[in-house]
Chains A and B, each alone.
Chain A
Amino acid sequence: MSTPLIDTVDAVETVDAPARRRGARSPSLIVGSVLLLVIVALAVVSLVWTPYPLDHTDPAARLAGPSAPHWAGTDRLGRDQFTQLMLGARTAVWIGLSSVAVAFVIGVPLGLLAAAAGRFVENAVIGVIDIVIAFPTLLLAMLLVTVYGASTAVAISAIGIGVSAEVARLTRISASRVFTQDYVLAARTCGTGPLMILVRHVLPNIWHTLLVQATLAFGVAVIAEASLSYLGLGTPPPAPSWGRMLQEAQSTVAVAPWNVLLPGLAVAVAVIGVNLLGDGLREVLDPQLRTRRRATGR
């Protein structure tokens, strides 16, 4: 139709394109995925196979160091630590995923409501969010445990509610930004109803932000689960947990330091993994970035 005119992207705007382009190959995405895959693989394999049954004890080899029969050594009761680590990974992944699901089921609608509704509702929701953020997840867990007793469900609820505030906050902020765009106004003038505006315009423009948030929330949940179990407020025994492994190994740290190191390392790998994955996803999913990549030719 017309002469091709470079009339939208000013040259100055593309300044940081090369840096971003490098990021798009995203080593953090790859490293993060690999680390997380290790944890998930441990959890999945534990469903069908572990070196020993969970309740197997080897009284002859208490507090043994890593060896051929016990890859990660044994604890003071002679339980195989690798078995515990694998089952702990299952607990961590399960509680992590469930709490993130709870957090999103509560947080996303709340955030959308705040962004879409008038100022009164928005302020009310912001108030609630602030209170929940200020309220320590641990304290919430203790309250719930006092009332309902320690259980996996209580841990998931406590972590999920705690994380949901952050999810709601981010959802509200991202959705509010979309609501100020002219395409939402244009949709209203096209007769598009509020629900369809959410489905067609708001969610497609914020899901990538929420996905990144979900990975980070998973990391927070894994740490929270470990902390709760460490304090005896999380998954009750006999279900193994990295947090309780740490707690149980604490008294014997001088003679069997690996019993503390390995579960600690597992938590660290899981959390670093999801954080790297989140960073990588952010780089890859950024719509601005994709536009620029195409605009500058690959």
Chain B
Amino acid sequence: MTVLETTGLSIALDREPLVRDVSFALDTRDRVGLIGESGSGKSLTALALLGLLPAGMRASGRIVIDGRDYLGAPDRQWRRVRGRTVSIVFQEPLTALDPLMPVGRQIAGPLRLHQGLNRSDAERRAIEWCERVHLPDPARLVRALPHEISGGQRQRVALAMALACRPRVLIADEPTTALDVTVQAQILALLDELIEETGVALLFISHDLPVVAGLARHLLVMRDGRLVESGPVDDVLRRPRSDYARQLVTSAARVTRLARPAGGGEDR
């Protein structure tokens, strides 16, 4: 069942097009990776799907969420969608979290807003969610402020916040880019576990092909504001149709290749 569908999405700033004619759909349990280099328009696309485009940018096309076109809808209507039907996790949880509010209350906030839970119920659910994202000692950790916990733990909190209201779509915008490699591996494993458990549709946005390829089943490739390729991960990796996708795969394969030459002197 299609939860989110966008057709002919274009975004322009001062009549200068930044995103052009992007169409794709997300079904329940879909895992879609959106890959592109900086400036390709991938993050703008994500913001548009939440009605969060910066002032001055114009979007056109259709953004259909649960059968309703929200493009151009007033903020009041978007607010019912955000966090409840579609939620997002950003690259840097330190800036996405309120620095002065204990993390437990930040997880509880959307629960009280969207599900009308009272304070103690919401806080109990927040602790449950801390357990689900495998945060250590949840009962104590919910009282911590964002800067008092590690970057990986913050991203776990951000995931708990994003998933607590049981959204149907989770947009993850470079969620592991700011993290260390070992922490990234843990967060990716957690993400994999959570989307399997909750059945949420995933739109994973990244510049990092190996990271996306490990998690997504379907790939969208963006360049200069356009979708240049779309297909199952395996097809895009092995039989890329566009030159750009081929170049991307080649670069990624070479950059991430662990050179294990016998003796280490093959370059001489």
> Residues on A close to B: CB < 8 A?
5-12, 14-19, 296
Contact yes or no, B37 A7, CB < 8 A:
yes
Contact across chains for B57 and A10 when beta carbons are under 8 A apart = no
CB atoms of B37 and A18 under 8 A apart = no
Asked whether, in the complex, the Cβ of B37 is within 8 Å of the Cβ of A11, the reply is no
Q: Which residues of chain B in 22-57 are interfacial with respect to chain A, using CB atoms and an 8 Å cutoff?
A: 37-41, 43-44, 47, 54-57
Cβ–Cβ < 8 Å partners of A11 in chain B: 13, 18, 39, 41, 43-44, 225
Residue of A nearest to B39 (CB): A6
- Say if the beta carbon of B16 comes within 8 Å of chain A: yes
- In the complex, what's the smallest C-beta–C-beta distance from A12 to chain B, in angstroms? 6
Q: Are A9 and B55 in contact (CB under 8 A)?
A: no
- Total interface residues in chain B, CB < 8 Å: 18
**B14 CB–A CB distance under 8 Å:** yes
* Dominant secondary structure at the B interface: loop
Q: With CB as the reference atom, state the residue of chain A lying closest to B43.
A: A12
- Known A-B contacts A6-B39, A7-B37, A19-B56; A14 and B13 likewise in contact (beta carbons under 8 Å): yes
- Cβ of B224 under 8 Å from chain A: yes
What's the Cα separation between A14 and B16 when bound, in Å? 11
Contacts of A16 in B (CB 8 A): 56
Nearest-Cβ distance from residue A130 to partner chain B, whole angstroms: 27
Separation of A73 and B55 alpha carbons in the complex (Å)? 53
Partner of A10, one of B16, B43, B56, B225: B43
Assess whether B38 is in contact with A10, with CB atoms less than 8 Å apart: yes
Determine the distance from Cα of A12 to Cα of B38 in the docked complex, in whole angstroms. 10
Contacting residues of chain B (48-74) with chain A, CB-CB under 8 angstroms: 54-57
Q: List 10 A-B contacts (CB under 8 A).
A: A6-B224, A7-B38, A8-B39, A11-B13, A11-B225, A12-B47, A14-B13, A15-B55, A15-B57, A16-B56
Question: Across the interface, do B13 and A6 meet the contact criterion of CB distance under 8 Å?
Answer: no
How many angstroms from the CA of A296 to the CA of B18 in the assembled complex?
12
| Contact yes or no, A8 B13, CB < 8 A | no
Among A7, A17, A18, A19, contact of B39 (Cβ-Cβ < 8 Å): A7
